[in-house]
Amino acid sequence: MSMSADLKPLPLSAAQGKGQFIKQHRKAVLLVCVAFMCGMVGANLWFARGHTVPMPEAAVELAPIPVPLVAGRDPSDRPLPPAPNNALIEQTAEGRLPTMAKNGLTPVLAYGYPFDRTNKQPKISLVLMDVGMQATLLNTAMRKLPGSVGLAYSPYTPNLDQALATARQNGHETLLMVPADGLDTSSYDPGPGALRNSLSADENIQRLHLMMGRAFGYVGVLMDPRGAVLSSASLTDKLITDLRGRGLELLATNDAFIEQAQNKKALAAPIMVQLDRALDSAAIDAAFAEAEQRARETGHAITITALYPYMLDKLDQWLPTLADKGIVIAPVSAAVTPPTPTAEPETTPSTKEAGHTASNAHSSQDTHEAPAPAAHGSGHH
**What domains lie within the chain, and their CATH numbers?**
86-353 (3.20.20.370)
Answer yes or no: is pLDDT of 5 > 60.
no
d(CA 240, CA 377): 36
pLDDT the model gives residue 345: 47
Answer yes or no: is pLDDT of 276 > 80.
yes
Q: Is 312 helix (H, G, I), strand (E, B) or coil?
A: helix
Query: What number of other Cβ atoms are within 10 A of residue 310's Cβ?
Result: 12
Which tens digit of pLDDT belongs to each residue from 194-242? 999 889 999 999 999 999 999 999 999 999 998 878 878 889 999 999 9
Mean pLDDT to the nearest integer, 166-186: 89
> For residues 38 and 83, is the Cβ–Cβ distance under 8 A?
no
Mean pLDDT to the nearest integer, 13-27: 59
The answer to which of 95-109, 335-349, 362-376 has the lowest mean pLDDT is 362-376
Burial of residue 372 (number of CB atoms within 10 Å: 0-12, 13-18, 19+): middle
Amino acid at 48: A
Answer yes or no: is pLDDT of 310 > 70.
yes
Return the CA Rg of the chain.
33
**pLDDT over 90 percentage in the chain:** 60
Distant-in-sequence, close-in-space partners of 1: CB < 8 Å, separation ≥ 6: none
Whether the CA torsion 62, 68, 70, 73 is positive or negative: it is positive
d(CA 214, CA 93): 13
Whether the CA torsion 84, 88, 89, 94 is positive or negative: it is negative
Which tens digit of pLDDT belongs to each residue from 117-162? 999 999 999 999 999 988 999 999 999 999 999 999 999 999 999 9
pLDDT the model gives residue 11: 54
Contacts 24+ apart (CB under 8 A), 348-353: 348/86, 348/87, 350/86, 350/87, 351/85, 351/86, 351/87, 351/101
DSSP 199: S
The crossing angle, in degrees rounded to 10, of helices 309-318 and 281-298 is 50
The answer to which of 56-60, 78-82, 87-91, 99-103 has the lowest mean pLDDT is 56-60
Nearest to 147 by CA among 218, 222, 75: 75
pTM for the model: 0.72
